[in-house]
Structure 1
Amino acid sequence: MKFRIASMLAAWALCCFQGSAVAAETRTAQEFMLNNGMKIIVREDRRAPTVAHMIWYKAGSMDEQNGTTGLAHALEHMMFKGTKTLKPGEFSQRVAALGGRENAFTSKDYTAYFQQIEKSKLESVMSLEAERMVNLKFDKDEFAREIRVVMEERRWRTEDQPIPQVYELLNATAFIAHPYHHPIVGWMADLQSMTVQDAKNWYDRWYAPNNAVMVVTGDVDAKQVFKLAQKHFGKIPRKAVPTTRPQEEPEQRGMRRVVVKAPAENPYVVLAFKVPALRDVEKDDESHALDVLAAILDGYDNARLNAKLVRTDKVANSVGAGYSNVARGPVTFLLDGTPANGTTTEQLEKLLRAEVERIAKEGVSEQELKRVKAQLVAGQIYKRDSIFGQAMEIGVMEMSGLSHTKIDRVIEKLRAVTAEQVQAVAQKYFGDEALTVATLVPLPLSEKKAAPPPKGLRH
């Protein structure tokens, strides 16, 4: 997956993590439920004496309202600013003293907190997470400092960066009614008017054991993890968590276009087609076929887009395709590229679409399909190479409304995708009706104001 598509996916989660490359094998996770409604999922992996401990809250930017965008992310920052028993910054200091690392990330669909730690220190970090689930402090001065950090983060990551500006406007144009319209970090005006009481209200509304999932992977005993969870989280009372009302995006009835003018080295274009998300692993065969189609276009070094438009025809400096089908809300299939000298963004747009149209008309050979599916399945399996990667995979599935028990079934369904199914989705979903196109028109770099990253940035 190329840089621009990666930028889009990164824009859907403000996060920071990395994993080690170790051969993984399939393991079955065990699931428990505390009496207060908190789900505990444990996958034992004995390859190294380490543990990934994650707490996922089903509350992301899609749960915000106009005027308070950015709240989920702002609250994530406040989770490190002290509790009844912890001073501001002490949470991170304690994890570091234990020899671990920790961070958090906010997405459109959820907010998650994690620690990677030596296995004997698991109870210590579990105790810390339980403390801030129920005893977070909201100091007005701490909030004032932290919201300034968030505003600087927005300037540094979006307002001063041309590609993130493109994707922010793309989402705001593609989604009219659905809250995916809003950026995770929030609109600047909402950040400027946000109060510490807004953050506390968000915490009181969503941060409850019955709206959280604990995921633990690594060198642990599942039953012992459950006992520790009961000890530290079991006494936290459940809350009446609000029921999210259906927020359906109206049917798009024609192509939408948007242009961003910003200091940049090169022009750029991205096309977003509205396509089905994965809601039912067993029934949603079109979603699996779209996954394979993305891999055919851009799943490996010599995939179709790069081979044709960059290497052979030399009409683009870079091209890409992306489809992330696991989400609480609607999803898009992306095509993007930076044109080479002598090629316009309008021409590249047509050339990108022509590659999908070629599959729609001619299909794909069994040989190519077999090769691409092998690459795609390998990529799915490689996500489990690290202890942390396994925890991420489980958490994302659970937060998106899909059971972690279906993870292996997804791979089986990908293996079963036929050439006819790939051709059918290429024919069905890539017309003008549900397409949004965003184009970057570069301005001179002399107009760009260099700014250092904000102090206190966690991600």
Structure 2
Amino acid sequence: MKIPTLSVMFARMPVTASMLAAVMMVIMPHLSQAAVFNPQTVTLDNGMQVVLVENHRAPVVTQMVWYKVGSADEQTGISGIAHFLEHLMFKGTNDIAPGDFSKIVARNGGNDNAFTTWDYTGYFQNIARDRLDLVMKMEADRMTNLQLSDDVVLPERDVIIEERRSRIDNNPGALLGEQMRAALYMAHPYGRSIIGWMNEMEQLSTKDALDFYHEWYAPNNAILVVAGDITMDELLPMAKKYYGVIPRGDVSTRHRVKEPVQHAPRKVTMRDPRVGQASMSRYYLAPSYNSENAADAAPLELLSEIIGSGTTSRFFKALVVDQSIASSVGTFYDPVAVDLASFGLYAVPRGDGELADLEKAVDDQIAKLKTDGVTEDELDRAKQKLLDSAVFARDSLSAGARVLGQSLAVGLTVDQVESWPDRISAVTVDQVNEAAKHVFNDKQSVTGWLMPPEGGPVSGSGPAIPLDSGGGVH
């Protein structure tokens, strides 16, 4: 689980392609049964999973509640309702007035926020250890006692509509990325915009929000992850007191449409006066840790590191340094999902270079990779880089909570998180090369070109690179 794939941005505003810092502990390749966060976990009688990552360096804690529902679980015609409800969760209960939740957290020296992706919705607070009881009581209260009316819902609908305008509609890179995902997934709801399609957002109602809330928000569909200066002996009674008394809910089962076999590559071309520098990108369907061919996930994490991570990567050396045809190039891959994932790449031409020439150069590098493969030396360096990049994991208060919460919310296990270093260390050159041949399948791809208008960019416009919005909206 290379951590650039475990994306969570902590602000209730749409952000695309955001990535966390690396948060895995250093484990040398010869060690076996490696551990990462050494979490403790208990399941309450009502089905809510409680996970603790102890960190006693400072008297502070992070509380995160992850609901196993996201935009891919929405019914057709109400896209954006998962993200809309995330906003509305701050609109109050019988005990907390609308808008007071965050104010109370701030008055007690903490901060809080929330986020929505295709697969999960999360809420968190960072707070002093002796205030955990307070924020846990508040979080449990809104899990079951949210009060909504048109007076608070309809103005907030205007807020999310404005967010879409400012973060998506006014961002050509975000717009193209959204269109590319819609083309990549022909049937699966991962092709749906997380924030929602504008025409459907404008019709979202109080009833839609309450129906979604009652359908999905329940302790047996949630995970409590706490990290910081507390022990399980202290945490568990508190969790039982506030969350354990909430009855199990009649939660819906996720019904995801299976993506059909794809037979042809797709291309999306967009010109926009706000684009100052042309760019290209491409998404390929790829396996996740939960999908068919999940054995390719760890090799693909290493492949992405080898060919597209930073200035020492293979593609950067070839296209930027040696050929001078690109000014930047990179790859991205997120295998932590309920269903399929995507493997992406992007490139920006140098100067006034043509996108067609750049795309051909990228394709040549992919063909060379599929023919010649990666080397043992490249793989060893990628492994060490991934494992070494995790050295700061335990220095971060919330890193363990984020990684464990996201992984558990998509159906992975604590053991799968903890064994990540071993899986990375065990990957062979042959496995990486086979994974590369599988993923670089043009029939399962979408290529995007983002360009200025025919007459050239308007004054003040800049580069815009469409990236996969796996970071979700907030």
Q: Same fold (TM over 0.5)?
A: yes
Residue 126 (structure 2) pairs with residue 85 (structure 1):
no
The one-letter code sitting in structure 1 at the alignment partner of 2:379 is L
Q: Is the 8 A contact 1:268 1:439 kept in 2?
A: yes
Residue 314 (structure 2) pairs with residue 267 (structure 1):
no
SS at match of 1:173: helix
Normalised to the residue count of structure 2, the TM-score between the two structures is 0.88
SS at match of 1:220: coil
SS at match of 2:452: strand
Q: Is the 8 A contact 1:373 1:414 kept in 2?
A: yes
Q: Which residue of 2 aligns with 1:302?
A: 312
Residue 388 (structure 2) pairs with residue 378 (structure 1):
yes
Q: Which residue of 2 aligns with 1:454?
A: none
The one-letter code sitting in structure 2 at the alignment partner of 1:264 is V
Distance, in Å, in 1 between the alignment partners of 2:430 and 2:399 is 32
The one-letter code sitting in structure 2 at the alignment partner of 1:256 is R
Structure 1 residues 297 and 382: alpha-carbon distance in aligned structure 2, compared to 1, 3 A threshold: farther
Residue 281 (structure 2) pairs with residue 276 (structure 1):
no
Q: Is the 8 A contact 1:14 1:106 kept in 2?
A: no
**Alpha-carbon shift at residue 286 of structure 1 (Å):** 1.4
Residues paired across the two proteins, number:
445
Distance, in Å, in 2 between the alignment partners of 1:68 and 1:439 is 29
Residue 200 (structure 2) pairs with residue 183 (structure 1):
no
The one-letter code sitting in structure 1 at the alignment partner of 2:385 is Q
What are the residue-to-residue correspondences of 1:311-326 with 2, within 5 Å?
311-326=321-336
Q: Which residue of 2 aligns with 1:100?
A: 110
The one-letter code sitting in structure 2 at the alignment partner of 1:419 is V
SS at match of 2:180: helix
Distance, in Å, in 1 between the alignment partners of 2:22 and 2:184 is 36
Q: 1:59 aligns with which of 65, 69, 76?
A: 69
Q: Which residue of 2 aligns with 1:166?
A: 176
CA-to-aligned-CA distance 1:88-129 (integer Å, 9 cap, x gap):
111101100110010000011000000011111111110010
Residue 250 (structure 2) pairs with residue 228 (structure 1):
no
Residue 30 (structure 2) pairs with residue 39 (structure 1):
no
RMSD: 2.7
SS at match of 1:193: coil
Which 10-residue stretch deviates more, 125-134 or 357-366?
Answer: 357-366
Structure 1 residues 306 and 383: alpha-carbon distance in aligned structure 2, compared to 1, 3 A threshold: farther
Q: 2:347 aligns with which of 301, 312, 337?
A: 337
**Alpha-carbon shift at residue 382 of structure 1 (Å):** 4.0
Distance, in Å, in 2 between the alignment partners of 1:19 and 1:252 is 31
Q: Which residue of 1 aligns with 2:430?
A: 420
Q: Is the 8 A contact 1:383 1:393 kept in 2?
A: no
**Alpha-carbon shift at residue 32 of structure 1 (Å):** 0.9
Residue 265 (structure 2) pairs with residue 255 (structure 1):
yes
Q: Which residue of 2 aligns with 1:119?
A: 129
Q: Is the 8 A contact 2:46 2:247 kept in 1?
A: yes
Which 10-residue stretch deviates more, 206-215 or 306-315?
Answer: 306-315
SS at match of 1:406: helix
Distance, in Å, in 2 between the alignment partners of 1:312 and 1:249 is 39
Residue 377 (structure 2) pairs with residue 367 (structure 1):
yes
The one-letter code sitting in structure 1 at the alignment partner of 2:347 is G
**Alpha-carbon shift at residue 279 of structure 1 (Å):** 2.1
The one-letter code sitting in structure 2 at the alignment partner of 1:214 is L
Q: Is the 8 A contact 2:8 2:19 kept in 1?
A: no
Distance, in Å, in 2 between the alignment partners of 1:269 and 1:299 is 17
Q: Which residue of 1 aligns with 2:452?
A: 442
The one-letter code sitting in structure 1 at the alignment partner of 2:42 is F
Q: Is the 8 A contact 1:317 1:340 kept in 2?
A: yes
Structure 1 residues 9 and 420: alpha-carbon distance in aligned structure 2, compared to 1, 3 A threshold: farther
SS at match of 2:166: helix
Q: Is the 8 A contact 1:20 1:385 kept in 2?
A: no
Which 10-residue stretch deviates more, 305-314 or 173-182?
Answer: 305-314
**Alpha-carbon shift at residue 306 of structure 1 (Å):** 1.4
Residue 358 (structure 2) pairs with residue 348 (structure 1):
yes
Distance, in Å, in 1 between the alignment partners of 2:367 and 2:25 is 37
Gaps of 5+ in 2: 27-35, 462-472
Q: Which residue of 2 aligns with 1:201?
A: 211
Structure 1 residues 15 and 380: alpha-carbon distance in aligned structure 2, compared to 1, 3 A threshold: farther
Distance, in Å, in 1 between the alignment partners of 2:423 and 2:23 is 25
- Larger RCO of the pair (alpha carbons < 8 Å, separation 6+): 2
Q: Is the 8 A contact 2:74 2:81 kept in 1?
A: yes
Identity rate of aligned residues, in percent? 35
Distance, in Å, in 2 between the alignment partners of 1:274 and 1:53 is 34
**Alpha-carbon shift at residue 323 of structure 1 (Å):** 0.8
SS at match of 2:443: coil
**Alpha-carbon shift at residue 350 of structure 1 (Å):** 2.2
Q: Which residue of 2 aligns with 1:453?
A: none
Which 10-residue stretch deviates more, 262-271 or 351-360?
Answer: 351-360
